[in-house]
């Protein structure tokens, strides 16, 4: 990488990026957090936010390596991160078995675009490869598992949004929101509610799935709505609808539980647009 590129890359990390570059800039911060975590300097969430915890972690790395501790991940600091500090996203096409800063940035971009792939770890393994191919198909690209210029251009566009308005499936407290959580990405919105609380359909639609999921969702209902949208209701204790049945908004579809991978009773509510998880944060009363 030439000096000019290194300098502009460092500047992008240090400055507030313009809106069009916001996704790429937060992906670089996420890659920095992944590298700092691996070195034991950062214990926070891989959230792509250049906040005080990330600057403090950069300063402790800098002090350890005898670099002036300014908290900014410039070229020397990134060199000190070894192979996790390079190469820059976009400097090479990425495919399975690649590792490094750019892979961590890619994982973050895939997740924020609705295709999370397990832990952010800077290694392009089977999960990231599958997420990459699903994103490529979603974006109308050839699903070849090679993240080159066309894939990165598609990832630099804003994340997909819901095309429909949904109502809250429960009136209870909101727990974890859609977004980074630790080293992974939480693709839905959690409602913390007692076991047995009735769950209502977020919008009118027809039941696409109503079964016990073999993955982490447990007892799951999926409703298909118009305009490419599906809504997902997971960890239920009871399912009250059948596949193929059509329901009105607010109709009772099941009860809160903790089936599947859940630490306690709650509803995991997820929205997908043509398969990409979108932020349900705007659900109304």
Site of interaction with Zn ion (CB under 5 A)? 188, 190, 268
The answer to whether the CB of 182 falls within 8 A of the CB of 46 is yes
Q: Which is nearer to Zn ion, 76 or 177 (CB)?
A: 177
In the complex, minimum distance from the CB of residue 268 to Zn ion, in angstroms, rounded to a whole number: 3
Q: Is 276 exposed, middle or buried (0-12, 13-18, 19+ CB in 10 A)?
A: buried
SS3 at position 145: coil
- Of the two residues 84 and 266, which places its CB atom closer to Zn ion in the complex? 266
* Least distance in angstroms from the C-beta of 181 to Zn ion: 9
Beta bridge partners, 191, equal 174, 267
Shortest Å distance, C-beta 270 to Zn ion: 8
Give the residue with the Cβ less far from Zn ion, 85 or 188.
Answer: 188
- Least distance in angstroms from the C-beta of 32 to Zn ion: 26
Task: Compare residues 168 and 268 and give the one whose CB is closer to Zn ion.
Answer: 268
Spatial neighbors of 277 by CB under 8 A, at least 6 apart, are: 114, 115, 116, 178, 187, 188, 270, 271
Give me the least distance between CB of 186 and Zn ion, in Å please: 6
Q: Specify the pairing of strand 205-212 against strand 184-186.
A: unpaired
DSSP string spanning 231-267?
Answer: EEEEEESEE---TT-EE-TT-EEEE-B--SS-SSSEE
Contact 94, 103 (CB under 8 A): yes
Of residues 86 and 266, the one with the C-beta less far from Zn ion = 266
Residue nearest to Zn ion (CB): 268
Q: How far is CA 184 from CA 66, 106, 111, 137, in A?
A: 32, 13, 9, 23
* Rounded least distance, CB 51 to Zn ion, Å: 23
At 202, list the tokens: 């977020």
Q: Which is nearer to Zn ion, 78 or 255 (CB)?
A: 255
**Minimum distance of Zn ion from residue 173's CB (angstroms):** 13
Nearer to Zn ion, 135 or 232 (CB): 232
Cα 267 to chain center, whole Å? 19
């Amino acid at each position: 990488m030439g000096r000019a590129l290194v300098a502009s890359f460092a500047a992008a990390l240090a400055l507030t990026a313009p809106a069009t570059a916001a996704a790429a800039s937060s992906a670089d911060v996420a890659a920095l957090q992944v590298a700092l975590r691996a070195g034991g300097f950062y214990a926070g969430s891989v959230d792509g936010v250049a906040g005080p915890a990330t600057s403090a972690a950069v300063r402790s790395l800098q002090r350890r390596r005898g670099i002036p501790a300014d908290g900014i991940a410039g070229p020397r600091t990134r060199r000190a991160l070894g192979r996790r500090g390079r190469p820059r996203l976009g400097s090479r096409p990425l495919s399975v078995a690649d590792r490094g800063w750019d892979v961590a940035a890619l994982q973050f971009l895939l997740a924020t675009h609705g295709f999370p792939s397990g832990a952010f770890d800077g290694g392009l393994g089977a999960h990231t490869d599958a997420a990459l191919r699903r994103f490529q198909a979603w974006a109308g690209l050839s699903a070849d598992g090679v993240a080159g210029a066309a894939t990165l251009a598609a990832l630099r566009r804003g994340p997909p949004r819901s095309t429909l308005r949904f109502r809250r499936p429960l009136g209870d407290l909101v727990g974890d929101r859609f977004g980074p959580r630790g080293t992974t990405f939480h693709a839905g919105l959690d409602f913390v509610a007692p076991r047995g609380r009735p769950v209502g359909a977020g919008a009118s639609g027809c039941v696409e799935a109503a079964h016990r999921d073999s993955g982490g969702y447990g007892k799951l209902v999926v409703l298909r709505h118009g305009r490419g949208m599906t809504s997902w209701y997971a960890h239920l204790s009871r399912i009250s609808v059948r596949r193929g049945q059509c329901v009105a908004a607010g109709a009772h579809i099941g009860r809160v539980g903790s089936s599947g991978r859940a630490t306690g009773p709650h509803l995991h509510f997820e929205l997908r647009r043509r398969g990409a998880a979108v932020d349900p944060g705007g659900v109304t009363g």
